[in-house]
Amino acid sequence: MTSGHPGGRGAGLDAAEAALGLELLLTGSATGGPLRRVLPLAPAARLAAALTSRPLTVARRGTGLAVELARIGLGRSSLAPAPQDQRYADPAWDHPLLRRIVQTHLAAGATVSDLIADAELDGADDERVRSAVGTLADALAPSNTPLNPLAWRSALGTGGASIVRGAARLVGDLGSPPRLPATTEPDAFEVGTGVAATPGAVVLRTPVFELIQYLPQTEEVRDLPVLVVPPMATRYYLADLAPGRSIVEHLVRGGQQVFLLSWRNPGPEHASWDLDTYGQAVLDAMDACEHITRTHRTSLLAVSSSGGTVTAMLLAHLAAIGAQERVASVTFVLAPLDREEADAPVSPAARQAAEAAVAASQHRGHLDGATLVEEHAWAHPNDLVWPYWVRSYLCGEAPPASEDLFWLADTVRVPAGLHRDLVAVALGNALATPGAAEMLGTAVDLSKVDRDAYVVAALGGHSAVWRSCYRTTGLLGGTTRFVLATNGSAASVIGPPGTPAAGFRVAETTPPAAERWLAAARPVPGSWWSDHLAWLGDRSGPVRDAPPELGGRGLHAVAPAPGEYVLQR
């Protein structure tokens, strides 16, 4: 995908899909930025050796390029950017000189692509080389240079001031990780007002988490509480992004008693925090929810890969000790548990990269969230790097104010122990094999979990991930309702009722094959939030008067939401 001058909510929605992308990197090969992508030395050497053994092929490609360059010089070339390529949407690119420059870039890129195909590398090498070449070609695109009409138009319109502002922004952004063009200003929003704004209070604070209870907004509430388990690699407020775009707010307004875990931003001293640490944290939060609401059961809502992994493993632990009746229901949102298709087959290079990333985090005591953001951005440079390069550095403009992009830039650290454990679970696809993993001293067997489950996936940028999410229906032993949102991963989390083009698919049964489910699923207009609220309501007990205050029975409000931990740097 290519994009032009970013701005407004559309750019933010593309970036919010990073909730899942960041976590797939967390359990993969987040080893640091563009250099690894642009210079995969071993595959590049094998490419060179393969082409050296085919001199006639290389000569033929070179001759073809020379002929095309001659056509370009004479103005007879038919090469043109793809219609959807917004980098060259400006009519000024039709200038004869600029058009020839763009055509030269396209011709060179096509020739290199043909040479890679001629080399007949194996699948892993071919993929890595093409990714590296694509990254380099995008970097060298004329649209990323001062030739861009947007750049010289800004310079003329500001009397050169845009050049000075752009240079200042470049120096500032390169001064600290993630060393990328800023996607939003650091003070664009205030946490607790513009984002993470649903009223509530911290009712429990431990060294690992703060438990937020949200203020009821209805006269009556459901009897059983809902506990939101957010990802550990990002800030919790993807689930409470902004007024009108918050699933937490939607649940509260639907009469649910909602609690949420706000994870502490760990430092090197917390390197030993692992899956057991976070599993126990969820268990402690459940204790508090039930104590405050005077119930014996809690519904869980897990968001993204790490939140889903911890929640699923805790459910297996409760099943093993005969205590899963404490869980009234469970919801998994964008939480691939069976990684067979999403990341497999795991190539030796990918495994080595993941192991190297784990070794690096063990040395530092944590994995820096800025590293994940940088790696994710360079995996999608035409969405998250070059449009902002043009806007910030070439045009000297401030980035757009987007809640989604603000959330993405608000990075956190991941403790080394948790990083190690999540990588081990992912590389071994351990949740799909009974007994291959442990939680709190018990073997994990998801088939023993018989809780009603609501599983949400999305047709987004990671094409295999929705099938991975679907296979959760075969891992769990209970009744599962699977919903496939059709308007992208980001909108699956922050797409409330009324979102334009929102829709999802649902079927009455969950056959083993995802394709069979898809063939039988019926389309439903609107957001899955409404469907989920009705499903959850049927499993949340009777209604009762809303509590007059937050907390209670010794667990009183200690600070207003969003609390202190979400503000830690």
Q: 33, 25, 31, 26: which is closest to 416 by C-alpha?
A: 26
Residue 302 domain-assigned (yes or no): yes
**Which residues 6+ apart lie within 8 Å of 9 measured at CB?**
402, 404
- pLDDT tops 70 at residue 19: no
pLDDT digits (tens, 9 = 90+) for 521-531: 999 998 999 99
More confident residue, 51 or 39: 51
Choose the weakest-confidence range: 178-182, 414-418, 460-464. Answer: 460-464
- Which token pair is 516? 């069979």
CB 230 within 8 A of CB 303: yes
Cα torsion for 465, 469, 470, 476, to the nearest 10°? 150
Q: Which two three-digit tokens encode residue 540? A: 């949340």
pTM score of the predicted model:
0.86
What is the mean pLDDT of the segment spanning 294-311?
A: 95
Q: What integer is the mean pLDDT of 28-32? A: 51
Strands 200-205, 438-439: parallel, antiparallel or unpaired by DSSP?
unpaired
| Whole-number pLDDT of residue 270 | 97
Mean pLDDT of 14-22: 51
Residue of higher predicted confidence among 409 and 533:
533
With CA atoms as reference, report the closest residue to 276 among 448, 449, 438, 476: 438
Give the H/E segment covering residue 545. Answer: strand 543-545
The reply to whether 247 falls in a domain is yes
Residues 251 and 329 in one domain: yes
Percentages of the chain per state (helix, strand, coil), in multiples of 5: 50, 15, 35
CA distance 226 to 205: 18
Q: Give the count of domains, the chain.
A: 2
Checking if the pLDDT of 3 tops 60, the result is no
Query: What is the mean predicted confidence (pLDDT) over 39-60?
Result: 86
Question: Predicted confidence band at 216 (pLDDT cuts at 50, 70, 90)?
Answer: very high
Check residues 499 and 313 and name the one with the higher pLDDT: 313
CATH number of the domain that residue 321 is part of: 3.40.50.1820
pLDDT of residue 23: 66
End-to-end CA distance of the chain: 33
Distance CA 364, CA 345 (A): 29
Mean pLDDT value across residues 410-438: 93
pLDDT, tens digit (0-9, with 9 covering 90-100), for 447-497: 999 999 999 998 865 556 888 899 999 999 999 999 998 876 555 667 788
Residues 444 and 520 in one domain: yes
Q: Are residues 113 and 234 in the same domain?
A: no
pLDDT score at 491: 58
Task: Please report, for residues 77, 266, 431, 517, the alpha-carbon distance to residue 456 in angstroms, rounded to integers and kept in the order given.
Answer: 48, 29, 18, 14
Residue 258 lies in a domain: yes
Write down the pLDDT at residue 502: 83
Cis amide leading into 345 (omega within 30) = yes
pLDDT at 103 over 70: yes
Report the C-alpha dihedral over residues 533, 18, 234, 344, rounded to 10 degrees. 90
Q: Which residue has the tokens 């709190």?
A: 440
Q: How confident is the model at residue 7 (pLDDT cuts 50, 70, 90)?
A: very low
Region 318-333: what's the mean pLDDT? 97
Do 115 and 224 have their domain in common? no
Examine the domain organization and report whether 332 and 252 are in the same domain: yes
CA 276 to chain centre: 23
Q: What is the pLDDT of residue 27?
A: 65
Q: Is residue 172 part of a domain?
A: no
Interval 258-284: pLDDT, tens: 999 999 999 999 999 999 999 999 999
Instruction: Check residue 209 and give left, alpha or beta (phi > 0: left; psi -120 to 50: alpha).
Output: beta
Residue (of 250, 296, 110) closest to 531 by Cα position: 250
pLDDT at 38: 53
Residue pair 283/300 in contact (Cβ under 8 Å)? The answer is no
Rg (the chain; Cα; Å)? 25
Can you name the residues that pair with 485 across neighbouring β-strands? 458, 504
Q: Work out the pLDDT band at 535, boundaries 50, 70, 90.
A: very high
Evaluate whether 561 touches 212 at the Cβ level (below 8 Å): yes
Q: Bridge-partner residues for 368, per DSSP?
A: 413
- Same domain flag for 36 and 130: yes
Residues in the chain: 569
Q: How far apart are the C-alpha atoms of 25 and 31, rounded to whole Å?
A: 9
Instruction: Kindly state whether residues 423 and 524 are assigned to the same domain.
Output: yes
The answer to whether the bond into 178 is cis (omega within 30° of 0) is yes
Report residue 15 as tokens: 């970036």
| Residue 399: cis peptide before it, omega within 30 degrees of 0 | no
Q: How many CB atoms lie within 10 A of CB 296?
A: 10
Q: Are residues 44 and 132 in the same domain?
A: yes
Retrieve residue 131's tokens. 């990714």
3-state SS class at 8: helix
pLDDT at 22: 63
Give me the phi and psi of 437, to 5 degrees please: -140, 165
Q: Is residue 371 part of a domain?
A: no
Query: For 66-89, how does the pLDDT look when each residue is reduced to its tens digit (9 = 90+)?
Result: 999 999 999 999 999 998 888 999
Domain end position, chosen among 147, 163, 190 = 147
State the DSSP code for 142. Answer: G
Instruction: Say if CB 385 and CB 347 are below 8 A apart.
Output: no
One domain for residues 131 and 276: no
Query: What is d(CA 145, CA 530) in angstroms, rounded to the nearest whole number?
Result: 46
Range among 142-146, 225-229, 303-307 rated most confident: 225-229
- Tell me if 13 is assigned to some domain: no
* pLDDT greater than 50 at residue 389: yes
Residue 215: its pLDDT value, please? Answer: 97
Using DSSP's 3-state secondary structure scheme, residue 201 falls into strand
Task: Indicate if 91 and 204 belong to the same structural domain.
Answer: no
Q: Is the bond preceding 562 in cis, omega lying within 30 degrees of 0?
A: yes
Per-residue confidence band for 4, with pLDDT thresholds at 50, 70 and 90 = very low
Residue 14 domain-assigned?
Answer: no
Q: Pseudo-torsion of CA 83, 112, 41, 59, nearest 10°?
A: 180
Please count the helices (runs of H) and the strands (runs of E) in the chain.
Answer: 24, 19
The residue written with tokens 């790097």 in the block is 385
Q: What's the domain range around 452?
A: 200-346+413-547
Whether 332 and 251 map to the same domain: the answer is yes
What average pLDDT score do residues 367-383 get? Answer: 79
Whether residue 527 is contained in a domain is answered as: yes
Amino acid at 446: L
Q: Based on the domain organization, do 320 and 454 belong to the same domain?
A: yes
